[in-house]
Structure formats: structure tokens, C-alpha cells
Amino acid sequence: MSIPQLCDDSFSRIASLMHSAVGLSFSQSKKPLMNSRLAGRLQQLGLRGFEDYAALLESADDGGEFQVAVDLLTTNETYFFREPAHFALLQSELQRSRPQRLAVWSAASSFGDEAYSTAMLLSDLQAQGSIGGDWSILGTDISERVLQSAVQAIYPAERLREVSDQRLKRYCLRGEAESEGLVQIRESVRSHVRFGQLNLCMPIDDIGTFDVVFLRNVLIYFDPPTKSAVVDRVLSRLRPGGLFFLGTAEGRVPCNTPLTVLAPGAYRKGPAK
């Protein structure tokens, strides 16, 4: 069977649906990416072409296929302690402020690498007496599939390439036999982390307020107006003076919430003093 090719009409239909439903933005330059990410799915479903797939996504009874398409179009590489300068800054700030309670939100948590990286850091700081034991991390994502994986907390060892040997010993279990090459995060870390599904383009339920928010490497999927709306929506859940992290390659996003720049991709909520 030949690989299905995405025509302009089907691309426009799928892109329009993704934008209206979940805020994802796909310019014409993303057409090859959409083709490559979804072509295999068409073959799995036995569909003749992207016209049929677009019709399936548009139907009221899609059998959950829309969520599958979102998963395929938004999954990107992730690994533990990505952009280490952010974690170093977080450590420095917490060692200075020494909070007894701490709430962190990983707002685009994907497979959980970011949430568990933060949990390892906070576990270290708690052991050092720099923070209290009352800390928690919420990881949210639009993809149910990646959240299910995050809860299991099992990863290829290569994804933990930036984790120190000491942390690997303290916080990870190495797989053996048929599980060789896999690593599971220990329960002592996982007990501080919970996950839930959330669409950043919709009003956010009362999930509480946070002292630290990560919103990294997800804004690339949104157009400029959606980016600004998402950032303000997320920042409404960050307490004044809290820390906010964007992907360093994403640059500062225009928003109505005052932010003070601390470092590339790192901000404090509130105007500079």
C-alpha cells in the first residue's frame, strides 16, 4: 500500500478542526509534518486517503480518533532535566526563600519527564532542609495517552541521560531481564506527583494556585493570539512573586500579566521592583 498524501483541502480541514477545538495552529509549512505523523494512522484504519480521515475527525461519533490525532500531532521529544539552567535557577531561588509549603504545576507535562525531574530536585532540597516536606507537583496535558504513561513512570534509560548517578541511585529502579534498559521512578518521588487532563485553550477549573509554573515547549503549537491567551490563563494560577518558566527557544510571549525577567525563559510574576 502506498503512503497516503495530504492534499491542501484535507490539510485545511484538519488544521481548522485542530485550531477550533484545541487551539493548535498548523501553518502551511507544517503540512509535511501532519502528513508524516498521520499517514501511518490512515493505514492502520484502512482508510483510502486523508479525505476520509478528515471526515472521521469531523464526525460526531469519531470513536475517540480526534484524541488520537491530537496525540500524534503534538508528541515531541522530551527528557529529564531538559534546559538545566531552569532547574539550577529554581534550586537557587528555593534555597534562598526556604518555603515550608510548595505547589508546582507542569502545565504541559507530556510523558512526565519535567514533573519527575522537578520532584527529584525537590526531594534533594527537602533532604537538605532547604524546603519543607509539604510539596506537591501537578502535571497536566491534553493527551490522555501521554498522561497514562506518565502515571506508570517507566522510561527508556536514555531519557534520563541528564540525571546524575546519585539521583539515579536514590530515585530510580533499573529494569532487569525483559525490562533491561528501562527505568522506573521510585514511589517516594511519585507520591508527590499527580496528573490530570487539561486543555490550556479552555477555561481552567479550580486546580488551585501555584508557586512555580512550567509552560515549556508547548506554545510552538499555537498562533500568536492563542499563545497570549494561554499564557495569561496559566499565569492566573500563579501566585504573585511566583516563578514562571517558558522554553528558552520560545522567547517572551506578549501577555497582560506583568512579568520580571530573571533569565532566558525564566520570569517572576509581577513588575520589577
Every domain of the chain and the residues it spans: 8-74, 84-269
Give the separation between CA 8 and CA 16, rounded to whole angstroms.
12
Q: What is the pTM of this model?
A: 0.84
Pairing of strands 238-246, 210-215: parallel
Would residue 101 show up in a list of annotated catalytic residues for this protein?
Answer: no
* 102 CB-contact burial (10 Å; exposed 0-12 / middle 13-18 / buried 19+): buried
Instruction: Classify 133 as helix, strand or coil.
Output: coil
- Selected catalytic residue, list 13, 113, 141, 216: 141
Class of the CATH domain delimited by 8-74: mainly alpha
- pLDDT tens, residue by residue, 70-111: 888 887 678 999 999 999 999 999 999 999 999 999 999 999
Question: Greatest CA separation found in the chain?
Answer: 63
CATH architecture, range 84-269: 3-Layer(aba) Sandwich (3.40)
- Selected catalytic residue, list 37, 186, 194, 233: 37
The candidate with the shortest Cα–Cα distance to 245, out of 110, 82, 116, is 82
Q: Nine-digit cell at 37?
A: 505523523
Q: Nine-digit cell at 117?
A: 525531574
- pLDDT tens, residue by residue, 47-76: 989 999 999 999 988 888 998 898 888 876
Q: Tell me the backbone φ, ψ of residue 101, rounded to 5 degrees.
A: -130, 145
Cβ atoms of residues 120 and 163 within 8 Å: yes
Question: What dihedral do alpha carbons 267, 134, 83, 108 form, nearest 10°?
Answer: -80
Q: Nine-digit cell at 30?
A: 507544517
* DSSP-assigned letter for residue 29: G
Give the separation between CA 159 and CA 162, rounded to whole angstroms.
8
Q: What is the pLDDT of residue 273?
A: 65
Instruction: Classify 152 as helix, strand or coil.
Output: helix
Cβ atoms of residues 142 and 173 within 8 Å: no
Q: What is the pLDDT of residue 186?
A: 97
Would residue 37 show up in a list of annotated catalytic residues for this protein?
Answer: yes
Grid cell 501537578 in the structure block, residue: 138
Residue ranges, the chain, pLDDT below 50: none
